[in-house]
A and B are shown apart, each in its own frame.
Chain A
Amino acid sequence: MIQIQSLTFTYPNGTTIFESFSWTVERGEAWAVIGPSGCGKTTLLYLLAGLRQPTAGRVLIDGQPLTRPRPRTGLILQDYGLLPWATVWDNVALGLQIRAFYGPDGVHTPTDETLDDGQARVNYWLKRLGIDHVARQYPHQISGGQRQRVAIARTLVLRPDLLLMDEPFGALDALTREDLQNLTLDLRAEQRLTTVIVTHNIEEAVFMGEKILVLRQSPIGGSQPPTGRGQSPAGGGPPPNREAVVIENPQAGSEGYRQRDAFFARCNELRELMGEAADEMA
């Protein structure tokens, strides 16, 4: 579904964060992307969302090069994504209003979009996510967990096939976070979504990602020191991501996985891998 081909991305300040980076996501897969802050995971997500353009190389979704946000891709950010002046209901309806604003032009709105049932769709998702009782309230009046549910509802009401999430539960307490992780997995199965969740939390990556992409790595087993090729002009930045380091984690999301030894073993494996990377960078 997603193909990243020889992607290079350089920030305006000259730091190259990806260089000749390739990565493939098949339809229906559940990915977690993990790495320390500044490793480029949010940038990768914005590239997938069509909100950033590669410096070189291509991002293909369903074989089409991505040049702008794609109507069937949903993006959920950690916070601040809701309109503070709109009620929960209006926030959930926002995407549909924008689609009605443009009409089915195939650019902003899928050509097969029908908006006649918009109100029913909004009400369905408010109910499905358990936030129908706060529909008339404003974002600052509800809890952080409820706000994320609003963000999820706003995305799902647009019937996406690809869901991108950037640290979606980072600001929430542990119980609310687990609750929303479970909900996300349920919705993924129910809506047959492909999901990419970016996180810096090892447990979250292991629970949510059937495959885990680890960023800011030297090539696996690579003992050669970073060459400095493609680094920022100041030379102070870490080396760019050149190779997709992937951990297979097929048990992710299964019943009771969080309590099993396999879960802790996988977390340790990931922790060691990230620790090695940090050592190599140092």
Chain B
Amino acid sequence: MKWRDAAWGFVATLVIWELLSLLIARPVFPPPTDVLVVFARQITGDLGRHLLVSAGRVIAAIVVAVLAAVPSGLGLGQIRTLNRLFSPLIYIVHPIPKIVFLPIILVLFGSGDGSKIFLIALILFFQILVVVRDEAADLRPELILSVRSIGAGRRALFRYVYLPASIPAVLTALRVSVGTAVAVLFIAETYATTSGLGYYIIVESWGALRYAQMYAGVLAMSLLGLALYFAVDSLDRRLCPWREAS
């Protein structure tokens, strides 16, 4: 999406929001003007701090998930016996909504950043694993053989074939799962923590009936999701120019 389209979408949202707040006319649905004032005031203070914490957790989870899932996916995609062994397991575990593990993860990893990062990384891990595996399995044997024939051993194959082949797969997986990751982060941050946008929205704002502040938190969370999506998009354009060439 272009920035101009994003700006237009933003303005349209504000207009519909304003109309709805006029229509509903209750404190629980404040007009965007009120919310933007609170947002502007708090983003440099409390809200900004919570936003940074949440962003840090998502980014750390993305890094952990990519580092774990890419080599595993490449291995599964290229070594058939490995895939035969593990694909039933992945098939069973992949569809489980990982958020249900939150209580167990809280017990095992404590209430700090570790539990949130682990939970989100777990969700992203399976998404990336499956797409990278399928991408690696689709690499034609002729391609591997011809690159081997010009001198590539295992290391060069990884550097010149497997790695570039997995980048678009990782970006595709992130594109579809970054939204889920932020949603799960929200839920995870409403339990046993004192930082993050989830805490800010539910505990500090909703619990205290500060509705305008709550919407400022929702706005920050939306911007976080949007920024991650844009980041993936821009990485895609930079790292995979051949996907746009036609």
Contacts and interface: CB of A to CB of B under 8 A. Distances in A.
A85 B164 CA distance: 8
Interface string B18-37: 00000000000000000000
How big is chain B's contact interface, by range? 20 to 34
A15 interface: no
B245 to A, nearest CB: 5
B98 interface: no
Contacts of B161: 83
Contact of B149 (A69, A80, A138): A69
A155 B143 CA distance: 14
Interface stretch (B122-130, B152-160, B181-189, B224-232): B152-160
B145 interface: yes
A83 B151 contact: no
A101 B245 contact: no
Interface string A66-82: 00010101111111111
Contact of B145 (A46, A82, A83): A46
B244 to A, nearest CB: 10
Given A81-B142, A85-B164, A94 B149 contact: no
A217 to B, nearest CB: 27
Given A94-B160, A137-B245, A108 B145 contact: no
Interface of B: 140, 142-143, 145-153, 155-156, 159-161, 164-165, 168, 240, 242, 245-246
23 contacts: A49-B149, A50-B149, A51-B145, A51-B149, A69-B148, A75-B146, A75-B150, A77-B142, A79-B142, A80-B142, A81-B142, A81-B143, A85-B240, A86-B164, A94-B150, A98-B147, A98-B151, A98-B152, A108-B156, A138-B242, A138-B245, A140-B242, A141-B245
Interface of A: 46, 49-51, 69, 71, 73-87, 94-95, 97-99, 101-102, 107-109, 137-138, 140-141, 151, 154-155, 158
